Chain A
């Protein structure tokens, strides 16, 4: 992919959005193993029920990995200076997560501030994030 240049980007530019596969129990089992986050609340429905939850639910960091994919699908990873998110709401089994991003500010040092959002099929925001990228 041709690398983007700072001078070519305008405030308001949209990043290519990401449509994740619907969250399944397999999704959560794979993320449990790959991430090393073995908290049973995400994979063991008996445990989740005992903890007062209706069901297992997704790791917040799975959603953040999707946000990161929005950025690395747009610029090379070495351009990323910062990535952050607030975990706003729980992502449930069956949710179809869409992640979007847009450039909100051009900063000094050829850096851009990008807002990132992960939302479900009803538009409910799950993660509200931000990235700083530095371009040539």
Chain B
């Protein structure tokens, strides 16, 4: 069982830079040919100052932290038993290539179902930009299979 005393525990905060080349690579990898996500001129024509960060890429940026295994290590979870159960995003402002985004994750909840055969960890992360504006809130529900 994962120690419930970690409920509410803040994980290390970190800052990541959004790179235009990475956004283009992500567009290619997700089959996105919408020029707004590939071509700066098309992005500007659509009212964006730079290439926009697409909706799910915040999750990828969250994996770019210095230690992507920070939560697993803290909670003692074997990643071969992990499943991504749910993912939620709330959006407050657009983010763009060139932005510097600060991620502040915390362990929001730990609970179990099926008599402990499945444990769930809900991580909540706030994302703010270099101007201090709230950009997005992420919620990741991880499932840990026992037995």
Q: Is the CB of A37 within 8 A of B60?
A: yes
Q: Is the CB of A83 within 8 A of B56?
A: yes
Q: Is the CB of B79 within 8 A of A34?
A: no
How many residue pairs link A and B with beta carbons under 8 A? The number is: 98
Given A31-B29, A69-B30, A73-B34, A80–B55 Cβ distance below 8 Å?
yes
Interface residues of B in 70-97 (CB under 8 A from A): 79-80, 83-91, 94
* Interchain CA distance A35-B54 in the complex, whole Å: 12
Q: Is the CB of B29 within 8 A of A61?
A: no
* Interchain CA distance A35-B91 in the complex, whole Å: 19
Q: Is the CB of A39 within 8 A of B79?
A: yes
In the assembled complex, the CB of B43 is this many whole angstroms from the nearest CB of chain A, namely 11
Given A60-B87, A85-B87, A87-B84, A77–B52 Cβ distance below 8 Å?
yes
Q: In the assembled complex, which residues on chain B have CB atoms less than 8 Å from the CB atom of A43?
A: none
Q: In the assembled complex, which residues on chain B have CB atoms less than 8 Å from the CB atom of A41?
A: 80
User: Chain B 9-30, CB within 8 Å of chain A: the 1/0 string?
Assistant: 0000000000000100110111
User: Chain A 49-72, CB within 8 Å of chain B: the 1/0 string?
Assistant: 001000000001110111011011
Q: How many residues of B contact A (CB 8 A)?
A: 34
* Interchain CA distance A68-B139 in the complex, whole Å: 16
Q: In the assembled complex, which residues on chain A have CB atoms less than 8 Å from the CB atom of B39?
A: none
Q: Is the CB of A36 within 8 A of B30?
A: no
In the assembled complex, the CB of B49 is this many whole angstroms from the nearest CB of chain A, namely 12
Q: In the assembled complex, which residues on chain B have CB atoms less than 8 Å from the CB atom of A30?
A: 25, 28-29
Q: How many of chain A's residues touch chain B, expressed as a range? A: 35 or more
Q: Does B32 contact A (CB under 8 A)?
A: yes
Given A64-B56, A65-B56, A80–B25 Cβ distance below 8 Å?
no
Q: In the assembled complex, which residues on chain B have CB atoms less than 8 Å from the CB atom of A64?
A: 56, 59, 87
In the assembled complex, the CB of B70 is this many whole angstroms from the nearest CB of chain A, namely 15
Q: Is the CB of A81 within 8 A of B90?
A: yes
* Interchain CA distance A51-B91 in the complex, whole Å: 36
Q: Is the CB of B59 within 8 A of A82?
A: no
Q: In the assembled complex, which residues on chain A have CB atoms less than 8 Å from the CB atom of B29?
A: 27, 30-31, 33-35, 62
User: Which residue of chain B has its CB nearest to the CB of A29?
Assistant: B29
Complex A-B, nearest 7 residue pairs according to Cβ-Cβ distance, in ascending order: A34-B29, A84-B88, A68-B55, A65-B30, A30-B29, A34-B25, A34-B26
Known contacts A27-B29, A77-B36, then 16 further A-B pairs from the complex at CB < 8 Å, ordered by chain A residue: A21-B31, A30-B25, A34-B22, A34-B28, A34-B60, A35-B29, A35-B60, A65-B26, A69-B30, A78-B94, A80-B91, A81-B91, A82-B90, A84-B89, A87-B83, A87-B85
B residues sitting closer than 8 Å to A (CB atoms) are 22, 25-26, 28-32, 34, 36, 46, 52, 54-56, 59-61, 63-64, 68, 79-80, 83-91, 94, 139
